């Protein structure tokens, strides 16, 4: 988690001081070969992350509706594609940011339901299911989702691109630090608790 917060803070700082994205600075500083390697590998990691998130949306919709999971994967993909196509960047930030903030309801509901907190703590200890079967596939899915949430690669690029678009200056470095420490930490903790 600390690595993700650190990378996000660095990406925001680069955007505030240089007015450029992370990949541009990498290619300037490390040379064309390393810049191309980063440019090729970053979208592959982002694709893995997006696939895990589309699957998570479909899984959530299946739990809510009982509809077939494979149909909901297509629906989730189309929903996100249409949102990106028709919504301006400012509204994507606002809508999905507020939807993410609504996950606080999960924490409040958990507190109000007064669960057995020792069982909740035991749930944080990973257990690997027996090899084979659907439980192993589900476990592998959660491993990918959790690793994707911890790495947050495209969120870092997206965050820095938003800082460049908003014309951050060195005066915004404190704001950058607060956003990254509070926002990224909340995102990672939430992703971990939702995957349990």
Q: Give the model confidence (pLDDT) of 106-117 as tens digits.
A: 788 888 999 898
Q: What is the mean pLDDT of residues 69-79?
A: 95
pLDDT at 69 over 70: yes
Q: Which residues contact 91 (CB under 8 A, 6 or more apart)?
A: none
% pLDDT > 90, the chain: 20
pLDDT for 187 equals 61
Quick check: 55 pLDDT over 60? yes
Q: Over 90: is that where the pLDDT of 95 sits?
A: no
pLDDT at 7 over 90: no
Q: Does residue 50 contact residue 154 with C-beta atoms inside 8 Å?
A: yes
Q: Give the separation between CA 111 and CA 26, rounded to whole angstroms.
A: 44
Residue 85, SS3 per DSSP: helix
3-state DSSP assignment of residue 82: helix
Cα separation values, 146 from 24, 29, 40, 87, 126, Å: 28, 31, 22, 28, 12
- pLDDT at residue 57 tops 80: yes
pTM above 0.75, yes or no: no
CA distance 15 to 168: 7
Dihedral of alpha carbons 40, 43, 45, 47, sign: negative
The pLDDT of 176-196, averaged and rounded, is 68
Most confident of 7-21, 63-77, 94-108, 145-159: 63-77
> Is residue 104 over pLDDT 90?
no
Give the position of tokens 């495209």: 154
């Amino acid at each position: 988690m600390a690595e993700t917060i650190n990378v996000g803070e660095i990406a925001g700082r680069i955007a505030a001081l240089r007015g450029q994205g992370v990949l541009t600075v990498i290619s300037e500083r490390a040379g064309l070969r390393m810049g191309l390697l980063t440019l090729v590998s970053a979208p592959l990691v982002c694709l893995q992350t997006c696939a895990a998130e589309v699957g998570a949306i479909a899984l959530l919709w299946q739990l809510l509706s009982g509809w077939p999971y494979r149909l909901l994967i297509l629906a989730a993909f189309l929903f996100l594609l249409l949102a990106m196509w028709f919504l301006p960047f400012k509204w994507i930030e606002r809508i999905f940011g507020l939807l993410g903030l609504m996950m606080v309801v999960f924490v409040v509901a958990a507190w109000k339901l007064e669960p057995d907190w020792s069982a909740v703590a035991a749930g944080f200890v990973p257990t690997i299911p027996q090899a084979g079967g659907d439980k192993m596939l589900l476990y592998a899915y959660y491993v990918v989702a959790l690793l994707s949430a911890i790495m947050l690669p495209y969120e870092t690029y997206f965050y820095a691109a938003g800082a460049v678009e908003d014309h951050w200056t060195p005066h915004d470095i404190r704001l950058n630090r607060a956003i990254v420490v509070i926002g990224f930490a909340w995102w990672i903790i939430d992703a971990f608790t939702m995957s349990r």
